[in-house]
Amino acid sequence: MSLFRRLSRIYYRFERIGAPLPEDGPLILVANHVNGLLDPAAMLHFGERELCFLGKEPLLRMPLFGWLFRSMEVVPVFRAEDGADTNQNLRTFEAVWRALESGRTIVMFPEGKSHDLPGLQPIKTGAARMALGTDPSRAGEVRIVPVGIVYERKKRFGSRATLLAHEAIDAGAYRTAGGSADREAVLALTARVEAALRDVTVDVVDHEDRPILEIAERIWNPAPGRERVERLAALARASADLRQSDPARIERLRGRLAAFAECLGPLGASVDHLDLRVGPAGALAATLRILFGLLVHVPLIAVAAVWWAVPVLLMHLIGSRAIRKPDLYGTYKALASFVLVPIWHVALCLWIWLGLGAGGSALAGFLLAPPIGVLAVHGFRRERWLWREALVFARLALSGRMVERLRLERADLAAEIEALAATVPTEQRRMGGIGAVQA
C-alpha cells in the first residue's frame, strides 16, 4: 500500500490535519466520497494503522485492476444497483466484525457511492451497525473517526487535498443489550457520525457557494496555515445555520462577496494580492527568478513534452469520458496512467533500441525520462505561478484607486463575516480552528 500512497502524491499534494488517530484498538474511518477511487488512495495516508477497505463488489472483477483490489484484501459490499444479491452482505458484516475484533482499522465511505454533489449526502447505517455488532470483550469498544477529504481543485493535477480528522467517537456510548439489532441505538450513532462528518467537510448547498465561501475565508482570516480547511468547514456550517434562521442576511452577504469577487476577476488577483507591495528590489528579484526559470525549466519541459506527449494526451482523452460524472475524472486519468505510461515508456525505448539501433540512447531515455518528467512538472507549475504573479502585480500597479476601494470593502466584509462566525457554537469553533479575525 505504501507504493500506491506514494503514487497518489503524483496527482495531489496531500496533507493531514485535525485529531490524531487512536494508537490501538478497533477503529472505523468514515469519509466523504467525491472523487472515485482517488478517495481510497487519499485514505492510505493514514498508514500508521493497518487498513482494511470496504468497496463495491464489481471493483474486484475489474479488468486489469481487479487483482489489485483483491491483493489489498478489499472486503466486498454487494449493492442492489449493481444487480447483486444484498443478502451476501451478511458475509461482509461477519468479515468486518472479525477484523475489528482483532483490532484492525476499517475504511469505508458511508454515503454509499461517489458523487459530485456540493455537500455531504445522507449516510447509511452500516458503520454504526458494524461498530455495535462487535464483541467489546475481545479488542475493546470500536471508535469511529469521521474524516473530511477536501480537494482544493479536484480536476487540477498537483492541487492540494486535505484530510481533516474529527475526534474519535466512542461507539460504546451508544451500545445497548441489543447491539447492532437495536435500531434506535444504530440511528442515534449514525446521526452523531453524520453530524461530525459534516463538521469536517465543506458542506455547501450549491456548487456556486464554494468559491464564495473560499473568498469569505480569505477575507475573514488571511493568515496562512494548515487550518484553512478547518475554517472553511466551520464557515460552511455557520452559513447553513444562518440560511435557516436569517436567509435575507446570508443572501445580502453572499451578494456582496460575489460582487467583490467580480471586481477581483479582471485583475486576476486573489484576496491576498490586495496587500502585495513590491519595491524595485523585489521586482528585480522576481524578474531574475523568471529568467532563471526560463533557462533551467524550459529545456526540461520541452524534453518531457516530446517524450510523454502521447500518453498524457490519451489520459486527458480518457478522462474526458467522465464529463457526465465529474467525480470519476481523476479515477479515469489515474487508471489510464497506470497502464499507458509504463507501456508507452517501454515501447518507445524498445523502438529507439531496435528500430533505430541506438541502444545507448534507449538506455538513457529509459533511466532519465521519468525523473525529467517529474522535474518538468514541478518546473511548469513554478513558471506558471511566477508569470501569473508578475501579471497580477502589473495590473495592481495600474489600478491603484480600485485596489484601495477593494481594501476598504474587504475590511467591512471582514467585520460582517466575523459576526457570522460568532454564531458557530463554541464546540464547533474549537473543532473548526476558528481564531480572531486578521483584517
In a domain, 412, yes or no: no
Characterize the bridge pairing of strands 105-108 and 143-151: unpaired
In a domain, 439, yes or no: no
Same domain? 254 vs 289: no
Q: Which domain holds residue 185?
A: 2-199
Amino acid at 207: H
List, in order, residues 6 or more apart from 35 with CB less than 8 Å away: 42, 114, 149, 151, 154, 327, 330, 331
Q: 228-245 vs 183-199: helix axis angle to the nearest 10?
A: 110
Same domain? 69 vs 121: yes
Cα distance between residue 254 and residue 231, in whole Å = 17
Same domain? 221 vs 175: no
Same domain? 145 vs 193: yes
Same domain? 396 vs 351: yes
List, in order, residues 6 or more apart from 199 with CB less than 8 Å away: 146, 148, 166, 233, 234, 237, 428, 431, 432
Q: Which of 169, 199, 229 is the last residue of a domain?
A: 199
Query: How far is residue 182 from each of residues 140, 174, 185, 298, measured CA to CA in Å?
Result: 19, 10, 5, 64
Q: 359-397 vs 329-350: helix axis angle to the nearest 10?
A: 140
Cβ atoms within 10 Å, residue 66 = 14
Cα distance between residue 143 and residue 120, in whole Å = 21
Q: Which of 173, 199, 225 is the last residue of a domain?
A: 199
In a domain, 408, yes or no: no
Same domain? 189 vs 213: no
What angle is formed at CA 116 by the lines to CA 384 and CA 323, rounded to 5 degrees?
70
List, in order, residues 6 or more apart from 135 with CB less than 8 Å away: 97, 101
Same domain? 228 vs 293: no
49: domain CATH number is 3.40.1130.10
> Do 160 and 13 form a contact (C-beta atoms < 8 A)?
yes
Q: Which three cell numbers stand for residue 70?
A: 483483491
| DSSP letter (8 states) at residue 121 | P
Same domain? 63 vs 163: yes
The closest of 34, 129, 134 to 77, measured between CA atoms, is 129
Cα distance between residue 110 and residue 375, in whole Å = 38
Amino acid at 50: E
Cα distance between residue 247 and residue 281, in whole Å = 49
Q: How many structural domains compose the chain?
A: 3
In a domain, 407, yes or no: no
Same domain? 232 vs 287: no
List, in order, residues 6 or more apart from 172 with CB less than 8 Å away: 136, 141, 142
Cα distance between residue 19 and residue 6, in whole Å = 23
Amino acid at 72: M
The closest of 211, 293, 269, 271 to 389, measured between CA atoms, is 269
Query: pLDDT tens across 77-136, in order?
Result: 888 888 888 888 899 999 999 999 999 999 999 998 888 888 889 999 999 999 999 999
Same domain? 318 vs 425: no
Cα distance between residue 100 and residue 104, in whole Å = 5
Cα distance between residue 279 and residue 273, in whole Å = 15
Q: Which three cell numbers stand for residue 170?
A: 466512542
In a domain, 326, yes or no: yes
Cα distance between residue 280 and residue 286, in whole Å = 10
Indicate yes or no: pTM above 0.75: yes
Same domain? 99 vs 166: yes
Q: Which of 154, 175, 199 is the last residue of a domain?
A: 199
Same domain? 81 vs 155: yes
Per-residue confidence in pLDDT tens, the chain, 439 aa: 666 676 677 788 888 888 889 989 999 999 999 988 889 888 988 877 888 999 888 888 888 778 778 877 888 888 888 888 888 889 999 999 999 999 999 999 999 888 888 888 999 999 999 999 999 989 899 999 999 998 888 877 778 888 999 999 999 999 988 888 889 999 999 999 999 999 888 877 777 778 888 888 888 775 555 577 777 887 888 787 778 887 888 888 888 899 998 888 888 888 888 887 766 676 677 778 778 877 888 888 999 999 999 998 888 888 776 666 777 777 788 888 888 899 999 999 999 998 888 888 999 999 999 999 888 888 888 888 888 888 888 888 778 788 889 989 988 898 888 877 776 554 444 444 333 322 2
In a domain, 55, yes or no: yes
